[in-house]
Amino acid sequence: MMRHISRRTMRLLLLMVMFGGSALLYSGCVFRGANTVITNANNGANQWAGESKVTAPDFDFSVPEAQALSVSPLFERYTQNHGGAINLGAPLTAAFPTDQGWLQFFASGALLLPVSQQGHTQRNEASLVALSKNGVKDANTGIVRLPLLQALLTAGSQVPLGGDKSHFTYIDLRKATSPDLMLAAPAAGQTATASVSGKGIFVKGGTRAGQDVGHFIPQPFWSYVNRSDASPDGWKTDFGPPLTEALSLSITKDGGTHHLLVQAFERDGLVLDQGIVDASGQPQVQRLATGTDYVHTIGLPAVAISAKQTIWAQGDTALLSAPSAGQAVAHVGQNFPLTLLGDTKWDTGMLWYHIQWAAPKGGGEGWVPANAITFTAPGNAPSRASMDALSPALATYLAGIGNNAGAVVYDVSRQRYYTYNDNAQFIVASSMKVPIMLTFFDTLEQQGREPNDDEMNRLTTMIENSDNDSASALFFDKIGGAAGIASYMQKIGVSGLNPSDDAWGYSTITPQTMVNLLTLLQEGKILTAHDRDIALNLMEHIESDQRFGVGDSAPDGATVAMKDGWVPGPDDQWAVNSSGIVTLGQETYIISIYTEESASLEDGQAIVQHVCDTVASLLI
């Protein structure tokens, strides 16, 4: 006769079953049936028990070819101390900011430099948060190596392991992590965490029926994980315990069959091609391409930037009208400031920032690749750009003249250089009288005396009236000719002037060199204050018919210290130039424009005047 079970009793029984089952699952125990022996995993493998998620590698990401990627300065110290390319492989992306910090992907990993969080996580980057918490943090730098393998196993990535022709994926690797597949320790009652047997090195991963179980690491893998360059912090930290046995698979590659071994560890995975040996003749062991596989499967985290944030160019780079394939709208150089507009785009494997740049009376917008910029301010260092960043029209005008012109403008007030053919060599002509004057003053300072009346007359007529006889007297008789000039230039650390022994006017100079000389003079970094004042005063009193270019373009009220030069070249074509320092109120700029191969003096002067007029209108 059956006894009736009350509803209250039934509820109690159900609650007992529910709480009991939850407790067992929480303990890491795994059941496969009423008569199945329980495996208690402590290597973390039980986190994928029952996981069935499948994710196709649908994210289109190709490694950039045209732009060279390198380890970000943020991560250089870490990579130098942690095996560099051996551990991480080649850079896959430039470093970029996320809500969790600065992130850079490599072929076989990813590094995160965490930042303090404020507010909620943008776009709910939960996977990145979890990876950060489960990664290995370097105590010296705070950098976290993310365990991408865990994310790929959880996602059930369908990326083939070992090559495109492989049928073995992270789903198969995940199945092999089942705690039920752990093997018994090689000796009865074995309790050590690692021991050697014919199968390799046994590492305990749990218990079953009171006995130790775990996985064996084949000798090639064991040797690899114990290398100091592969595991700088030790294999237990850098790799963790094995999650699987070493799994055999065969693939067709390069027209032949390759036999591979693949093994997953807590934080990384290894693959061995038994048909390829390294330089020492041992089977080649490599890390799984978890970085590449992650971005193809899960994609890249959102870039976290703020509109109007300033970034800086790291070197010469073109600003494009559109990512990758756009037209160049301007060219900037080291330390040039750019302002983020707030949007970004991944294109052909490269991250591009939408930016704008500012000039005193102009500017524009474009796109810049992430590997060309930095978010770290350069301090008080000057910045550089091509002339098109100051004025596209002026850049076009100069481009029409080609290599027969060179110009440098230094906006002293904003510490920015704008250049065109800045390091090309041009005939110096009478502007050579500036280096002659500076060298002569330095010679007098070494002698501990002031110029006498005759020397002062020579200086005055050389600069103010451009008297060639006075220049020759100082050049040959007072400073030791070309050798004296060369010695002084070396002393002050300025290169780019090649003085001629026989004819000083046919020495050659770069526009950048003349600007460097005038900048040192203007900033008081050469000569005594007394001699500097004399030099600038002479250059401020050039006779009126020799003030074309810099002098004639300056607005009323401006102070102009300058020197022009003009001479027919060996082919009877004219070399014409103008250089000087212009100051009006709080604004100062230094300019040097050199030309050659003009059919007449007037043609050369017209080029010089156009450039100087344009620059004056833009900077003052």
Residue 498 lies in a domain: yes
**What is the pLDDT, as a whole number, of residue 24?**
36
480 and 615 both lie in a single domain: yes
415 and 545 both lie in a single domain: yes
Residue 104 lies in a domain: no
180 and 315 both lie in a single domain: no
425 and 371 both lie in a single domain: no
**pLDDT tens, position by position, 550-567:** 999 999 999 999 999 999
**pLDDT tens, position by position, 68-115:** 789 999 999 999 988 877 889 999 999 999 999 999 999 999 999 998
Residue 408 lies in a domain: yes
367 and 474 both lie in a single domain: no
Question: H/E element holding 419?
Answer: strand 416-420
Paired residues of 455 in beta bridges: none
Report the CATH number that the domain containing residue 580 is assigned in CATH: 3.40.710.10
Using DSSP, state whether 542 is helix, strand or coil. Answer: coil
349 and 222 both lie in a single domain: no
CA end-to-end distance (rounded Å), the chain: 109
333 and 476 both lie in a single domain: no
Residue 269 lies in a domain: yes
495 and 579 both lie in a single domain: yes
Q: Where are the beta strands (DSSP E) in 19-60?
A: 29-30, 39-41
* 387 Cβ neighbours under 8 A, 6+ residues apart: 394, 395, 398, 407, 409, 418, 419, 420
* Helix 529-539 vs helix 433-447: crossing angle, to nearest 10: 160
Chunk the chain into consecutive blocks of 10 residues (it has 620) and report each block's average pLDDT, rounded to whole numbers.
Answer: 45 37 39 68 93 94 72 93 86 94 96 72 65 91 96 96 89 97 78 57 95 95 93 93 95 82 96 82 89 95 94 97 95 98 92 97 96 94 98 98 99 98 98 99 98 98 98 98 98 98 97 99 98 98 97 97 96 98 98 98 98 97
**CB count in 10 Å sphere of residue 136:** 18
Say which DSSP state 362 is in: E
Cα separation, 226 vs 223, in Å, equals 5
**CB count in 10 Å sphere of residue 304:** 19
**CB count in 10 Å sphere of residue 604:** 27
Cα separation, 594 vs 578, in Å, equals 7
DSSP per-residue codes, 373-416: EESS--TT--EEEEHHHH-HHHHHHHHHHGGGEEEEEEETTTTE
Contacts 24+ apart (CB under 8 A), 549-553: 549/577, 549/578, 549/580, 549/593, 549/605, 549/608, 549/609, 549/611, 549/612, 550/578, 550/579, 550/580, 550/582, 550/591, 550/612, 551/578, 551/580, 552/609, 552/612, 553/609, 553/612, 553/613, 553/615, 553/616
587 and 442 both lie in a single domain: yes
612 and 536 both lie in a single domain: yes
341 and 459 both lie in a single domain: no
**What is the pLDDT, as a whole number, of residue 252?**
79
Cα within 13 Å of Cα(170), Cβ side: 31
Give the CA dihedral 564, 567, 573, 574, nearest 10 degrees: 10
Cα separation, 532 vs 492, in Å, equals 15
Cα separation, 476 vs 483, in Å, equals 10
Report the CATH number that the domain containing residue 341 is assigned in CATH: 2.30.30
Residue 32 lies in a domain: no
Single-letter amino acid, residue 79: T
Query: At which of 381, 410, 436 does a domain end?
Result: 381
Q: How many domains does the chain have?
A: 3
Residue 96 lies in a domain: no
pTM value is 0.85
448 and 594 both lie in a single domain: yes
**What is the pLDDT, as a whole number, of residue 193?**
52
Q: Tell me which residue range forms the domain holding 277.
A: 165-185+198-288
Positive or negative: CA dihedral 455, 457, 460, 466: negative
Say which DSSP state 157 is in: B
Query: At which of 321, 347, 381 does a domain end?
Result: 381
Residue 281 lies in a domain: yes
